């Protein structure tokens, strides 16, 4: 689907929800997409992208940045602590802060580097054992811990279970953010971003609807 169609759908969802135009940021998820497709979307003027692997992002974004210096790339997949410093050099935001050890590593490297990407805390709203994220019952404490370390916590992120109505998870994430005074909500993907916007998403992560099905590596 053309990028302009996705943007029109976002604008309509914002209006339907009574939200200000432009209040939702579109993260174009470019993981595993051929470089020509990513380049086409850059050439259309889009500047905010999402990647789920540090290694993959390191392989393509430094080159794209030479041509498009104002691009912003967000890490939306898991981060191993030993790749944190590399991630600081690649991403303007990290959406997958999900455990105290990682938060402490980010705080230490932020001190050393003198800057820190915007952070989103990932919440495992479906309490799925195979999925990353802090459990909902531990979220308030972990958010507090991150704020006490002066980390720039921008908001929360979730990936709902595939077989459940995502709106329940979006509503839960919004509730946890609200009671902790956090404004950012990274939620909604190709199949459900309009529902996420209705429930307050500030960042939607849309891949296949923009780029087409991912070509497996």
Ligand X SMILES: *Cc1c(COP(=O)(O)O)cnc(C)c1O
State which of residues 6, 14, 26, 31 lies at the interface with ligand X (CB under 6 A).
31
Least CB distance from residue 200 to ligand X, whole Å?
17
- Of the candidates 135, 142, 157, the residue with the CA atom closest to the CA atom of residue 201: 157
Footprint on residues 149-168 left by ligand X (CB under 6 A): 159
- Of the candidates 158, 154, 170, the residue with the CA atom closest to the CA atom of residue 133: 158
Using the rule CB under 6 A, is 76 a contact of ligand X? yes
State which of residues 9, 195, 203, 205 lies at the interface with ligand X (CB under 6 A).
205
Least CB distance from residue 27 to ligand X, whole Å?
8
In whole angstroms, give the CA distance from residue 155 to residue 76.
13
State which of residues 87, 189, 196, 198 lies at the interface with ligand X (CB under 6 A).
189
Q: Which residues contact 37 (CB under 8 A, 6 or more apart)?
A: 30, 211, 212
Least CB distance from residue 150 to ligand X, whole Å?
26
Using the rule CB under 6 A, is 86 a contact of ligand X? no
Chain centroid to Cα 4, Å, comes to 21
- Of the candidates 48, 28, 50, 57, the residue with the CA atom closest to the CA atom of residue 95: 50
Using the rule CB under 6 A, is 190 a contact of ligand X? yes
Q: Find where tokens 């590593």 sit.
A: 105
Q: Is the dihedral of CA 45, 47, 53, 56 positive or negative?
A: positive
Footprint on residues 44-73 left by ligand X (CB under 6 A): 52
Q: Which stretch binds ligand X (CB under 6 A): 16-24, 105-113, 124-132, 206-214?
A: 206-214
Least CB distance from residue 120 to ligand X, whole Å?
11
Least CB distance from residue 141 to ligand X, whole Å?
24
In whole angstroms, give the CA distance from residue 107 to residue 116.
8
Q: Which residues bind ligand X (CB under 6 A)?
A: 29, 31, 52, 76-77, 159, 189-190, 205-209
């Amino acid at each position: 689907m053309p990028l302009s169609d996705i943007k029109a759908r976002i604008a309509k969802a914002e209006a339907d929800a009574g939200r200000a135009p432009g209040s939702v940021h579109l993260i174009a998820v470019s993981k595993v997409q051929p470089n020509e497709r990513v380049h086409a979307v850059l050439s259309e003027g889009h500047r905010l992208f999402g990647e789920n692997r540090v290694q993959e992002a390191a392989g393509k974004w430094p080159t794209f940045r030479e041509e498009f210096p104002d691009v912003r790339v967000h890490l939306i997949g898991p981060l191993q602590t030993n790749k944190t410093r590399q991630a600081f050099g690649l991403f303007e935001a990290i959406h997958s802060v999900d455990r105290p050890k990682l938060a402490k590593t980010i705080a230490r490297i932020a001190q050393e580097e003198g800057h820190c990407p915007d952070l989103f805390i990932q919440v495992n709203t479906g309490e799925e054992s195979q999925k990353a994220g802090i459990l909902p019952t531990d979220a308030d404490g972990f958010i507090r811990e991150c704020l006490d370390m002066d980390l720039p916590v921008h908001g929360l992120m979730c990936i709902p279970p595939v077989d459940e109505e995502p709106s329940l998870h979006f509503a839960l994430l919004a509730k946890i953010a609200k009671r902790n005074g956090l404004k950012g909500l990274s939620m909604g993907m190709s199949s459900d971003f309009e529902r996420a916007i209705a429930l307050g998403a500030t960042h939607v992560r849309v891949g296949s609807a923009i780029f087409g099905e991912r070509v497996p590596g």
